[in-house]
Amino acid sequence: MNDDARQARLLERTRATLEAAHRTGVSPWEGRRYDYHCPSPRSYPFQWFWDSCFHAIALTHIDVDLAKAELHSLIQGARADGFMPHIIFWRPEHGVMESQTLRLSTPYLSASIQPPVIALAIERVYRASGDETFLAETLPVAAAFFRWLRDNRDPDGDGLIAVVQPDESGVDASPKYDPLLDYPRDNNDLVKAIDGIYAQYEPLGNDDARLIAADVFVVEDVLVNSIYAQGLQVLARLTKDEAEAAEYSAWASRVLNALMEKCYDPARGLFLDLLRTSEERTEVNTISALFPLIIEGLDPTVADRLVQDHLRNPDEYALPYPVPSVAANAPGFNPDHPRGFIWRGPTWINTNWFLAHALHARGYDDDARRIVESTRALVDTEGFRECYNPYTGEGQNASEFGWTSLVVDLPL
C-alpha cells in the first residue's frame, strides 16, 4: 500500500473509531447538553480532559463542528474560579467508576487536573474553522484555567505548577513517582498507595494549598510544566490584547527558566521531575526528560543533547517502535502493560504526536519521520490501541482508543 492509500485508510478508521465513541445527550444533572467522544467505549465512557483536547485536534481532520462541540462540552466542566476537572461524568450511571480511585469535587466532576492541553486544542480548532465566536467563547475559559493553576498549584512561586496525585499528570503509574508511592510492584500496590494518599487528603477537603502543604504527593512534573509553558505561548499568540499577550509570553519564559534552573541536569543532559516540596530530583529517566522540546525558546544546545544523547540512544528511547514512555535502561521500565500499571515503558500515540511536531519544528526531520513512520505502522497493523509494546509493536490495553486518532495529525 502506498503512503496516500495508507493515510486514507487511517483517516477512515479514525472516523469509525471516533464515531463509536461519540456521546450526545442531556445530563441527568442540571440538564446540560453534551456532545463529546469518550476515550474508549468499554473502558472509559466519560469525558476526560486531555483526551478530549486530543480528540478535538483529530476531529479537525474529520468534522470541525464536532471538534468545536467537543471543546464546548469540555468547558462546561469549568468552575467559576477557573478550575477544570479531569473527568466530567455526564451520565454517572455508567458505573465503571466504582473500580477507580478518584477524588470528586461534585458527584459529576472530579477534583483533579490533567495537563493543560486546552489552549493548543482551541488554537487548532480555531485555525481549522476560522470561527471567531468559538474563539471568543472558549479562550477566556482556558485563560482562567491557566490563572487557576498559577494561583493554586504554585505556592512556592517558582513558576512551576505541582500535581498532587499521580493521575493528574496523565502518566499515572510512571516509575518517576515510585519513591512517593512505596515502590509499587503491581497495580494492587499502586491502588493501595493512592488510597493512602486520598485518606490523608480526606480531612483537608479540596483545598489545594492544604493538599500541597501536607506534602503527601507533590511533584513539579516536567511533562505537565512543558505543556503548561507551551499553552501559555499559545495564549500569547491567540490573545488580541497586547498587554495580556505580553503577560503570557513573560509567564511562559518564567516556566521555561524554572525548568532550566531546577529540572535540567547538565551532567546527564536531561530534565528530571521534582519530588516533594523539598524538590528532590527523581532519578528516573522517563519521557518527561524530553518534553521541554515542545517549548519554543528552549536553548538549541540543550535540545540537541536531548536528541543526540537520549532520543537516538538505543539503550534509552531508540527502540524498534519509539518513543517508549520510560528509557529502556531506567529502573522500573516495563515494556508490557500489566492491567492498570501503565506508563512504565509502552509507547503512546499522544506523546509521539507531541514529540514528532516538536522535532519537526526544530528541524530534526529525520528523527520526526522515524517516529511518524513507526506510529503509522503501529496503528495500521495493530489498530487504535491505548499503547504499544516498544519492542514488538503489540497493541496493549484498551481498544478503539480515542487519542490514538492523533495518527492523522502527524507532521511530514
Question: Which parts of this chain interact with ligand GLC (CB under 6 A)?
Answer: 39, 44, 48, 50-51, 167, 170, 172, 342
In the bound state with ligand GLC, the residue whose beta carbon lies nearer, of 50 and 148, is 50
Please state the closest distance from residue 162 (CB atom) to ligand GLC, in A: 18
Q: Per DSSP, which regions of 202-360 are E strands?
A: 219-220, 264-265, 270-271, 274-275, 280-281
In the bound state with ligand GLC, the residue whose beta carbon lies nearer, of 39 and 159, is 39
Spatial distance between the Cα atoms of 250 and 73, rounded to a whole number of angstroms: 30
Nearest Cα to Cα of residue 267 among 305, 296, 322 = 305
- Kindly report the number of other CB atoms within 10 A of residue 241's CB atom: 8
Contact of 129 with 64, CB cutoff 8 Å = yes
In the bound state with ligand GLC, the residue whose beta carbon lies nearer, of 165 and 233, is 165
Locate 15 and state its grid cell.
472516523
In the bound state with ligand GLC, the residue whose beta carbon lies nearer, of 43 and 277, is 43
In the bound state with ligand GLC, the residue whose beta carbon lies nearer, of 17 and 249, is 17
Please state the closest distance from residue 198 (CB atom) to ligand GLC, in A: 16
Please state the closest distance from residue 170 (CB atom) to ligand GLC, in A: 4
Please state the closest distance from residue 203 (CB atom) to ligand GLC, in A: 26
In the bound state with ligand GLC, the residue whose beta carbon lies nearer, of 85 and 170, is 170
305 exposure class (CB count in 10 Å sphere: 0-12, 13-18, 19+): middle
Please state the closest distance from residue 212 (CB atom) to ligand GLC, in A: 22
Nearest Cα to Cα of residue 175 among 280, 284, 89, 71 = 284
Locate 280 and state its grid cell.
528532590
Q: Cell 474553522 belongs to which residue?
A: 129
In the bound state with ligand GLC, the residue whose beta carbon lies nearer, of 153 and 362, is 153
187-210: buried (b, 16+ CB within 10 Å) or exposed (e) per residue? eeebbebbeebeeebeeeeeebee
Please state the closest distance from residue 260 (CB atom) to ligand GLC, in A: 26
Spatial distance between the Cα atoms of 367 and 261, rounded to a whole number of angstroms: 27
Residue whose C-beta lies closest to ligand GLC: 39
Please state the closest distance from residue 2 (CB atom) to ligand GLC, in A: 32
Contact of 21 with 405, CB cutoff 8 Å = no
Please state the closest distance from residue 234 (CB atom) to ligand GLC, in A: 20
Spatial distance between the Cα atoms of 350 and 22, rounded to a whole number of angstroms: 19
In the bound state with ligand GLC, the residue whose beta carbon lies nearer, of 114 and 233, is 114
Nearest Cα to Cα of residue 18 among 72, 67, 81 = 67
Please state the closest distance from residue 39 (CB atom) to ligand GLC, in A: 3
- Kindly report the number of other CB atoms within 10 A of residue 97's CB atom: 15
In the bound state with ligand GLC, the residue whose beta carbon lies nearer, of 13 and 344, is 344
Q: Cell 477544570 belongs to which residue?
A: 84
